[in-house]
Amino acid sequence: MVEAWNYAALIEYLVDVQSNTDKALAGLQGTSDISDEQLLIAAYRATQFNAGVRQRTTYEELISTGKIGFIADKTLVSTASLIYDTRILDQVNDEGVNSAYRVTFRKSLPVAIQDSVSQHCGDRFVQTGDFNDIKNQLNYPCSTDLSAEQIELAVNVLRGNPAILENLRLRAMDVRTQHNNLVFSNQDIFNAITTIKKGSYG
């Protein structure tokens, strides 16, 4: 079930984003000794969001035609109902797209620098439906392929704009809230996803 995979993958994705918000905060606040390149990578990855793969049209068609009752796997049916009856996935997507930190970051750095970081350190492709490969969608070793001068320029911009740090703190807390909402506030969905992952879907 694509939606079950999407929910599980999004949880892992937020773990990666949270890790990078924390790393970028520590680097900008001077509480961690990381290289300028790693700071730039973490700061970029903290802007990322994952809209996932949605198949609501298929679900709504099954409901409207009454064919949902023909699906033998009742765990899949009940999980689909739980997922589509909550707006949590849409809320995570909306907050990611409209993140003040994302907007500030993208307005501040030269496009060529952002392009290079995105190309070399952006989202790692994960095959839809593969539950075993959803970890480290963002957290993997990489290099930006930027010159030392470009990296220094980018980090100076990040350090010199107070809005970057302020909005990054907000982003860090928003991502924590999103993760907690997916795992704890919607415990019924999380439990259903866990059941599917332990079954024949991976």
Structural domains in the chain (count): 1
Among candidate residues 82, 114, 66, 62, the one with its CA nearest the CA of residue 4: 82
Q: State the DSSP code for 132.
A: G
Contact in structure between 193 and 83 (CB atoms under 8 Å): no
What the block records as the tokens of 6 is 């999407």
User: In the prediction, which pLDDT does 72 show?
Assistant: 67
pTM: 0.82
pLDDT tens figures, 56-85 = 666 666 667 776 666 666 666 776 676 666
What the block records as the tokens of 99 is 């993140």
pLDDT tens figures, 113-158 = 999 999 999 999 999 889 899 999 999 999 999 999 999 999 999 9
Q: How far apart are CA 154 and CA 115, in angstroms?
A: 12
- Cβ neighbours for 95, distance < 8 A, ≥ 6 positions apart: 49, 174, 178
Q: How far apart are CA 63 and CA 113, in angstroms?
A: 47
Among candidate residues 158, 157, 121, 167, the one with its CA nearest the CA of residue 140: 121
Among candidate residues 26, 57, 64, the one with its CA nearest the CA of residue 42: 26
User: In the prediction, which pLDDT does 201 show?
Assistant: 44
| Residue 47, burial from CB neighbour count under 10 angstroms (0-12, 13-18, 19+) | buried
Helices (H), the chain: 2-29, 36-45, 56-65, 74-84, 88-97, 100-108, 111-121, 148-160, 162-180, 187-198
- Cβ neighbours for 177, distance < 8 A, ≥ 6 positions apart: none
Q: What is the mean pLDDT of the chain?
A: 87
pLDDT tens figures, 158-183 = 999 999 999 999 999 999 999 998 88
Domain that holds residue 120: 2-198
Inter-axis angle of helices 162-180 and 88-97, nearest 10: 170
Per-position b or e across 99-128, b if 16+ CB within 10 A of its CB: bebbebbeeebeeebbebbeeebbeeebee
